[in-house]
Amino acid sequence: MVDSASGGELHEDFSRESVQLNRDLETMTEEMENISVRLTLMAYDMVVLRTDPQLSKAHKRLEDEYLKCKAVICKSK
């Protein structure tokens, strides 16, 4: 026969495992969302950049300006 202390410990262990499982699933879901966003952006870039060469140049210039701004902002912090 299982005493009440053992039953309580088992319940606590199960609760801790459930919480950890929820954290792990949330982390995995966030990682998959990030991968999905990056994949979507990559696909968009491939389609857009291959259809209009001028757009590729404008995109590169915009990216360069963004990196300059980011460097200034991050440097000031």
pLDDT one-digit tens code per residue, 2-31? 555 577 787 788 889 999 999 999 999 999
Average pLDDT, the chain: 84
Buried-exposed string 34-66: b where 16+ CB fall within 10 A, e elsewhere: eeeeeeeeeeeeeeeeeeeeeeeeeeeeeeeee
Q: What is the pTM of this model?
A: 0.49
Query: ∠14-25-29 over CA atoms, to 5°?
Result: 170
User: How confident is the model at residue 70, as a pLDDT?
Assistant: 84
57-69 pLDDT, tens per residue?
Answer: 888 898 999 999 8
- Long-range CB pairs of 63-72 (<8 Å, 24+ gap) are none
Q: Give me the number of domains the chain comprises.
A: 1
Structural domain harbouring 10: 4-76
Residues 28-42 have a mean pLDDT of 92
